[in-house]
Amino acid sequence: MAVATLDVEQLTELGRQLRVDAVRAAAAAGSGHPTSSMSAADLMAVLLGRHLRYDFAETQNPDNDHLILSKGHASPLLYAMYVAAGAISDEELLTYRTAGSRLEGHPTPQLPWVDVATGSLGQGLPIGVGLAISGRHLERRGYRVWVLCGDSELAEGSMWEAFEHAGHAGLGNLVAIVDVNRLGQRGPTRHGWDTQAYARRIGSFGWHTIEIDGHDIDQIDRAYAEAIGTSRPTAILARTRKGSGVEAVEDKEGQHGKPVPDSEAAIAELGGRRSIRVEVAAPDGEPERLRPDTGSLRLPVYEQGDEVATRTAFGEALAALGEARSDVVALDGEVGDSTRSRYFEEVRPERFIQCYIAEQQMVAAAVGLQVRGWTPYVSTFAAFLSRAADFLRMATVSGARLCVVGSHAGVSIGPDGPSQMGLEDLAFFRALWRSTVLYPCDANQAAHLTAAMADLSGISYLRTTRGETPVLYGPTESFPVGGSKVLRSSPGDRLTIVAAGVTVHEALAAADRLADLGMAVRVIDLYSVKPVDVATLHRAAAETGHVLTVEDHWPQGGLGDAVFDAFTRVTCVPRLAKLGVLAMPGSASPAEQRQHAGIDSTAIVEAAHELLLDS
Amino acid sequence: MAVATLDVEQLTELGRQLRVDAVRAAAAAGSGHPTSSMSAADLMAVLLGRHLRYDFAETQNPDNDHLILSKGHASPLLYAMYVAAGAISDEELLTYRTAGSRLEGHPTPQLPWVDVATGSLGQGLPIGVGLAISGRHLERRGYRVWVLCGDSELAEGSMWEAFEHAGHAGLGNLVAIVDVNRLGQRGPTRHGWDTQAYARRIGSFGWHTIEIDGHDIDQIDRAYAEAIGTSRPTAILARTRKGSGVEAVEDKEGQHGKPVPDSEAAIAELGGRRSIRVEVAAPDGEPERLRPDTGSLRLPVYEQGDEVATRTAFGEALAALGEARSDVVALDGEVGDSTRSRYFEEVRPERFIQCYIAEQQMVAAAVGLQVRGWTPYVSTFAAFLSRAADFLRMATVSGARLCVVGSHAGVSIGPDGPSQMGLEDLAFFRALWRSTVLYPCDANQAAHLTAAMADLSGISYLRTTRGETPVLYGPTESFPVGGSKVLRSSPGDRLTIVAAGVTVHEALAAADRLADLGMAVRVIDLYSVKPVDVATLHRAAAETGHVLTVEDHWPQGGLGDAVFDAFTRVTCVPRLAKLGVLAMPGSASPAEQRQHAGIDSTAIVEAAHELLLDS
């Protein structure tokens, strides 16, 4: 049946079908969130039947609307919609939550119609902002972004970062549908059914708001039409009943996140199974695709021996990338002066997105942008990336491709003190699934690695240094991901010092002093912290017998652990030692900081002696 | 001079003195944020001179007001206030940002008048909410919490979590003073001087708002008086000029975070040095101190062989702690049903703080509460603690004492899928300064460790498991932090399996199967992941020669890395192997998940064979 002809009665029936199928899926799985699905069933029935523009036959159609289930636990509802749209079979629906099924407990892009993984609340709307920015400001396409939100997740600050960004950017292509079912996991939400409390707040951020009965088909339909006709982003606050349609669970506490007690009875109460098939309307016209222009890249070049900060090289390389490649966008958290991402802004202001000090929204927007084919570079202080840790974690579940850059790494920033120092970032980024972690020690290396990130999959992380460091490498040198550079080597080496970033320079100074003392040591610049260059490390260990790592980072989870890990399962393990930041820093000059932290050349020389004399 | 007599002219002079001293401090340091200090100088002059109640001679007076510099980069202003209050000397002021000085780039509790470290924006207000909750709801004391906020940081979602929490809780003892100087680090803020934009938003969250000229002493004074007389939390939106008082920098871009260009001229323009000394008013009356009652603790007891989830044991132990100790408070992020913190709510509802799904505010409130002497237990899903990563990082700079509990760890949660799985938490918590990381495998152990956390310093983290596991230990067994349990041991052991939490049970099953195959292996329950029991690991390695770690976590930064780290600097390193989660999980049963992840007993048996046959 054609979409435009679905009348109120048919939409009501469709809503019942979605409920029934959500109940069936959860019953088959023995777990899941049917009641959180049932509250939003009418909202989604009307969206699917009347307002969504989506070509299920051509999921890559760039004019397709986006639908994000910010309340990802309502996955049975989403999957029931896919059944109604004919995208998946009823048989597949009943594989929900079983091993090997695409229909996971929370939606992931294993399904071709799912853009991003959700399930950590408060993330769908900020990601939707990224999609809406692309449609409105970068691509100028007519698609719309629909986000189904829960009421509980409105407590997350990230939602308000999204409201602020979208309201200020005037993202009229964004619609937040809030399923106000008043019940969270352990009882009533803060505002219950007070949709006005939400409308007042969201409205104050420049959004258009509409309050409706979320089980009234007409009201829902009119709200969507009104949202489409509004130039501002719209939030629809829909008063609903959790578990709606089944008396045993409807608006009852203690019914969160579990199958309804008697699913057969519930299905009967809902009028039994239906098999309504909705012909979802496809977007009009022939889609024109984004064709990125990856022109010739002219990276900045630095003279060996000059002193240049790697953050500066990153900024200049990013600007060059922006000039060469039309797919590169840059996002800033109001620190572009410090990270040097402002160099990109100077050459490509139209692809520079200022997120102000809202790191969660910044990362979320980048996740949304990469869904649309952009190559986003996200940067702030390494320390402040921790603000977006959960978004980065979820981005790995989404399989998102993000280039993340953290500046002001380590104690080497100097007098600003520990609040500004990234000292846990290597541990965090290493522990992200399929991540790449890069840490350049000089400007040419930083420029090359900045460019290399654009073609990596998953999350790649570049750690930059605030202060100037000498340029060690010539501009034509290559730095493959997973590689390393052996900077000092002789047949008589008795120890290998492994360093990265700022400690490479300390290691070289230490090697020189040790050489003066008659002790030959090898120095490896391990600019690729993940993956590590296992072969080079093994060779060095076999030839020197001792490995000393030194990093401007806490001793846990960073370079040292990465190097040690390279020696798992080997027959002959070298003697290993690790230098990392010893104590909570205060304010001091960069050199004093490294001295206090026990990671400067003197500390390396001492550790080398200790290690060799002791063995 | 007595405070009440400071007239407008004197307060104006005091504001100039604060500016001059901020300029001098930054000039001496050669870095810092004088311009961000100057915009708020009048605001702080009036607060110090007329409204703050603080006994500088008795910093532990429980009736002292709290002043939090949420815009921590304005530290020169805070230190200038301490000079004016006679708390520090002018000589010390000029040590600002130098090695060994208490006057760090951003304030830390190295100074006795600083409650918490700030410098990561958007954290001071949420922490202030915790302090205000204590005053209003737990202690019922008259102190007031003043938070100086920047306008840029209003972009942080955490600020809106704070506005929501405080507005709903009616924290009339909380005053946010927003220094709307319209300029961020790299240019204008989103709303510039539009204080109404802020007032509209903040007001919608139930706050009283006042818009003033932040350089008008009278307006400031009246605003504070109005805030004190209001039963709701109050936000004062003060329109100010960055760098105010010095033409070369006033309201100019490009003057963020650096000394003023010509400090001598600036000081002259401000009328030169002054030495006004303010007698800050102390709170009235004799303070009565909180005397925690640490009564006798009766931990829950579990029968060996029974199947009990460690999350359940945590919840029951927490309830027991709540009954025994009057200093214990519990904070929930609307998942108390799942984490089992609701057991505490059932027995001590008056000390249970529902933060709804706002993990940043939850952790921040806990940081505020421990300032007041409470022992806070913060719990949510391990995965969602990542939402508060930056708050936990900053809590270590504050030296805060927090008991943090993450449930639903690892793939073992089963069908809910990766969004709900804590798989990076061990890496994150290990990399926090002076943290303790505990991971119990059975209910009695979980109960004991839950209780032990209450007496630890710094951040302690307990990782709990969703599903039931057999009780291995008797209720009288002890589990010292830094210890381990050797569960299988024989003289002929050729391999040591090190496990924790759910993998202990897989390791035991593997050991049994290997024993059947004639291969004796040792099994260590490493429930204390940080610090690790180095002595026991060394002994086992020396006796068995091979060490295999197995963890329900990504292979980076967790149990395996902790164990490997124990073998740094030793002369004889054992052969090491590590099992961790191999691939991004989907939905499946817990046992299927562990199988797919390569961390079940079969995987352990295979790895053991490989390791031993290969050597």
Residue A302 near residue A398 (C-beta atoms within 8 A): no
**pLDDT tier for residue A295 given thresholds of 50, 70 and 90:** confident
Render pLDDT for A156-212 as a digit per residue (tens, 0 to 9).
Answer: 999 999 999 999 999 999 999 999 999 998 899 999 999 999 999 999 999 999 999
> Chain B partners of A570 at a C-beta cutoff of 8 Å?
575
- What one-character DSSP code corresponds to residue A449? H
Sign of the Cα pseudo-torsion (A28, A29, A35, A37, in order)? negative
Euclidean distance between CA atoms A420 and A410, whole angstroms: 9
Cα dihedral A44, A50, A52, A54, rounded to 10, equals 120
Tell me the mean pLDDT in the region B449-471: 98
pTM assigned to the model:
0.98
- Bridge partners of B381? B407
Mutation to test the A interface, candidates B110, B387, B549, B595, most A Cβ within 10 Å: B387
Tell me the mean pLDDT in the region B526-541: 98
pLDDT of residue A52: 97
Q: How many residues does chain B have?
A: 615
Tell me the mean pLDDT in the region A16-38: 97
- Name A84's Cβ contacts closer than 8 Å, sequence gap at least 6: A14, A17, A18, A21, A48, A276, A277, A278
> Chain B partners of A428 at a C-beta cutoff of 8 Å?
389, 424, 427-428, 431
**pLDDT tier for residue A572 given thresholds of 50, 70 and 90:** confident
- Nearest CB to B358 within list A157, A423, A567: A157
- Nearest CB to B419 within list A106, A156, A158: A106
Render pLDDT for B109-139 as a digit per residue (tens, 0 to 9).
Answer: 999 999 999 999 999 999 999 999 999 999 9
CB contact under 8 Å between B428 and A384, yes or no, is no
> ipTM above 0.90?
yes
Please give the class, per CATH, of domain A307-470. Answer: alpha beta
User: Is pLDDT above 80 for B291?
Assistant: no
pLDDT of residue A615: 63
pLDDT of residue B3: 45
Euclidean distance between CA atoms A614 and A611, whole angstroms: 5
Render pLDDT for A230-289 as a digit per residue (tens, 0 to 9).
Answer: 999 999 999 999 999 999 999 999 999 999 999 999 999 999 999 999 999 999 877 766
pLDDT of residue B345: 98
Cα dihedral B316, B320, B321, B323, rounded to 10, equals 140
For residue A175, give the 3-state DSSP assignment.
Answer: strand
b/e A375-406 (16+ beta carbons within 10 angstroms → b): bbbbbbbbbbbbbbbbbbbbbbbbbbbbbbbb
Percent of chain A with pLDDT over 90: 95
Render pLDDT for B180-230 as a digit per residue (tens, 0 to 9).
Answer: 999 998 899 999 999 999 999 999 999 999 999 999 999 999 999 999 999
Cβ neighbour number for residue B21 with a 10 Å cutoff: 30
- Nearest CB to A571 within list B335, B558, B575: B575
CA distance A286 to chain B (A): 36
User: Is pLDDT above 80 for B598?
Assistant: yes
Render pLDDT for B74-90 as a digit per residue (tens, 0 to 9).
Answer: 999 999 999 999 999 99
Tell me the mean pLDDT in the region B313-341: 97
Render pLDDT for A462-501 as a digit per residue (tens, 0 to 9).
Answer: 999 999 999 999 999 999 999 999 999 999 999 999 999 9
Mutation to test the B interface, candidates A123, A156, A360, most B Cβ within 10 Å: A156
Mutation to test the A interface, candidates B430, B587, B606, B612, most A Cβ within 10 Å: B587
Euclidean distance between CA atoms A14 and B195, whole angstroms: 47
- Mean pLDDT of all residues in chain A? 96
Residues of chain B with CATH 3.40.50.970: 2-278, 307-470
What's the CATH fold of domain B485-613?
Answer: Rossmann fold (3.40.50)
Place of tokens 């104050």: A204
The residue of chain B with its CA nearest to that of A614 is B571
- Nearest CB to B360 within list A157, A557, A587: A157
Sign of the Cα pseudo-torsion (A437, A441, A442, A445, in order)? negative
Question: What order of strands is seen across the sheet that includes strand A495-499?
Answer: A485-488, A521-525, A495-499, A546-550, A575-579
pLDDT of residue A2: 38
Closest CA to B184 of B254, B102, B267, B118: B254
The residue of chain A with its CA nearest to that of B417 is A105
Lowest mean pLDDT among A62-66, A293-297, B91-95: A293-297
- Nearest CB to B592 within list A99, A589, A614: A99
Percent of chain B with pLDDT over 90: 95
CA distance B386 to chain A (A): 5
Q: Checking phi first, is residue B305 left (phi over 0); if not, alpha (psi -120 to 50) or beta?
A: left
> Chain B partners of A32 at a C-beta cutoff of 8 Å?
415
Which H or E run contains A436? strand A436-438
Percent of chain A with pLDDT over 70: 98
Closest CA to A419 of B121, B178, B147, B32: B121
- Mean pLDDT of all residues in chain B? 96
User: Is pLDDT above 60 for A4?
Assistant: no
Residues of chain A with CATH 3.40.50.920: 485-613
**What single string gives the DSSP state of each residue in B41-57?**
HHHHHHIIIII-B--TT
- Name B60's Cβ contacts closer than 8 Å, sequence gap at least 6: none
CB contact under 8 Å between B156 and A161, yes or no, is yes
> Chain B partners of A118 at a C-beta cutoff of 8 Å?
419
Closest CA to A275 of A76, A74, A1: A1
In terms of CATH, what superfamily is A2-278?
A: Thiamin diphosphate (ThDP)-binding fold, Pyr/PP domains (3.40.50.970)
Tell me the mean pLDDT in the region B574-583: 95
Tell me the mean pLDDT in the region A518-522: 97
**pLDDT tier for residue A290 given thresholds of 50, 70 and 90:** low
pLDDT of residue A161: 98
pLDDT of residue A319: 98
CA distance B155 to chain A (A): 5
User: Is pLDDT above 90 for B608?
Assistant: yes
- What one-character DSSP code corresponds to residue B283? P
pLDDT of residue B410: 98
pLDDT of residue B290: 64
pLDDT of residue B542: 96
The residue of chain A with its CA nearest to that of B118 is A419
Cβ neighbour number for residue B33 with a 10 Å cutoff: 27
Secondary structure percentages of chain A, helix, strand, coil, to 5: 40, 15, 45
Closest CA to B43 of B64, B12, B20: B12
Strand stretches in B4-125, DSSP E: 66-69
Closest CA to B577 of B601, B544, B604: B604
Structure tokens at A547: 């490995």
pLDDT of residue A289: 65
Render pLDDT for A73-82 as a digit per residue (tens, 0 to 9).
Answer: 999 999 999 9
Is B359 annotated in the active site?
Answer: yes
Euclidean distance between CA atoms A403 and A461, whole angstroms: 6
